[in-house]
A and B are shown apart, each in its own frame.
Chain A
Amino acid sequence: MAEIRCPMCSRLNPDELEICQFCQARLKPLIAKPNEPTPDWLNQTEDDENLDDSTGVNQPVAPDWLRSLRSREISHDDLSEDQSMGDPPDWLRAGVDAPDLLSAQRRESNDSDWLADFRSRQSDEEPTETEPVQQEIEEEKLAPLDVPDTTDAEIPDWLSNARFDNDTVNEPAVPELSQPDTDAEPEWLARLRSVHPTEGVGQVPEPSADKDEIPDWLKADGQNLGSAAVDQSFESAPEEEVPTWTSYFEKEGDSADLVTDLNELKSTEDELLIPEGDLPDWLKDGSHQPGPNAEPGEPEIRKDSEQLPDDSPPWYATAPGRPFKPTDQLSQWLRLEASGPDSSEPIPAEEIPDWLKADKEDLVTQSLTPKLEELSIESEPVSIDEGLSSSQFEKIPETQLTDAELHYDEDKADLDDDFALLEKKLFPDGELEQALVTTPEGDDLQAVDDPLWLVELRQKMGDSVEDQGLLKVSPFSEDIEHELPAEAMAGQAIPDWLIDVHAQEAIEHITGDSEPLEISQSFERDSENGLVQADLPTWLEAMRPVEAVAAAAADIMDEHDQSIEKAGPLVGLKGVLPAEPDVTLAHKPDSFGLKLQVSDMQRTRADMLQELVQNEALAKPLPRKPAISSQRILQVVIAVTLILAILSTLIIDTPIAKVPGFPIETGAVSELINNLSSSDRVLVALDFQPAFSGEMEAIGATVLDHLMLRGAQIAFISTNPSGPLQAERLVNIVNQRYDHSYAGEQITNLGYISGGRAGILAFASTPRQLAPLTFDSENNPWDSGSLRGVSKASDFALTMVITENADTARMWIEQFQPELESKPLIMVLSAQAAPIIRPYYAGSPQQVQGIVSGMSGAAAYENLLGRVGIARSQWGAFSLGVLAACILILLGGIINAFPIIGARMQKTNPGGDDQL
Chain B
Amino acid sequence: MSQIHLFELSFAGLFFVLLILFALVIRKRPEKRLREIPAFAHLGRSVGLAVEAGKRLHIALGYGGVNDVQGASGLVGLTMLQRIARAASISDRPPIASSGEGTLGILSQDTLKSSYQAIRSENLYDPIYGQISGLTPFSYAAGTLPIIMDQQVSTTVLAGHFGSEVALITDANERVGSQTMAGSDNLEAQAVLYVSSQDPLIGEELYASGAYLNAGLMHQASVRTQDVMRWVVIAGILLGGLLKLIGVIE
Contact = CB atoms under 8 A, between A and B. Distances in A.
Interface in B35-81: 36-38, 40-45, 47-49, 52-54, 56, 65, 67-70
Nearest to B90: A88
Interface stretch (B14-22, B115-123, B223-231): B115-123
Contact of A79 (B43, B67, B126, B216): B43
Contact of A620 (B53, B186, B212): B53
A805 B93 CA distance: 36
Contacts of B216: 46-48
Contacts of B214: 44-45, 77, 79-80
B143 interface: no
A24 B93 CA distance: 8
B45 A69 contact: yes
Interface stretch (A32-40, A230-238, A593-601): A32-40
Contacts of A89: 90
A80 B213 contact: yes
Interface stretch (A141-149, A394-402, A514-522, A753-761): A753-761
B145 interface: no
Contacts of B119: 36-40, 51
Contacts of A832: 164, 188
Contacts of B237: none
Contacts of B122: 33
B48 A69 contact: yes
Contacts of B70: 756-757, 807
Contacts of A913: 38
Contact of B212 (A31, A52, A77, A690): A77
Interface string B163-180: 111000000001001000
A8 interface: yes
Among A52, A79, A690, A756, find the residue whose CB has the most chain B CB atoms closer than 10 A: A79
Interface in A667-690: 689-690
B207 to A, nearest CB: 16
A82 B44 contact: yes
Contact of A83 (B87, B115, B124): B87
A689 B163 contact: yes
A755 B67 contact: yes
A96 interface: yes
By size class, the interface of chain A is 35 or more
A30 interface: yes
A259 B172 CA distance: 53
B138 A758 contact: no
Interface in A63-104: 66, 68-69, 74-83, 88-90, 92-93, 96-97, 99
Contact of A26 (B43, B93, B118): B93
A74 B42 CA distance: 8
Interface string A710-736: 000000000011100000000000000
A209 interface: yes
A625 interface: yes
Given A82-B87, A689-B138, A691-B138, A755 B65 contact: yes
Given A24-B151, A31-B123, A77 B90 contact: no
Contacts of A620: 53-54
A78 to B, nearest CB: 3
Given A30-B123, A755-B67, A76 B212 contact: yes
A208 interface: yes
A807 B152 contact: no
B120 A36 contact: yes
A51 B150 CA distance: 34
18 contacts: A18-B126, A24-B56, A24-B150, A26-B93, A36-B121, A41-B83, A41-B86, A51-B119, A52-B118, A77-B44, A79-B43, A80-B214, A81-B44, A90-B90, A97-B92, A208-B123, A806-B187, A807-B70
Given A90-B90, A807-B186, 18 more contacts: A24-B56, A32-B121, A37-B120, A39-B87, A40-B119, A46-B216, A66-B52, A69-B45, A74-B45, A79-B47, A80-B213, A82-B48, A82-B87, A83-B86, A99-B92, A620-B54, A756-B65, A806-B188
Interface of B: 30, 34, 36-38, 40-45, 47-49, 52-54, 56, 65, 67-70, 83, 86-87, 89-90, 92-93, 115, 118-124, 126, 135-138, 150-152, 161, 163-165, 174, 177, 185-188, 212-214, 216-217
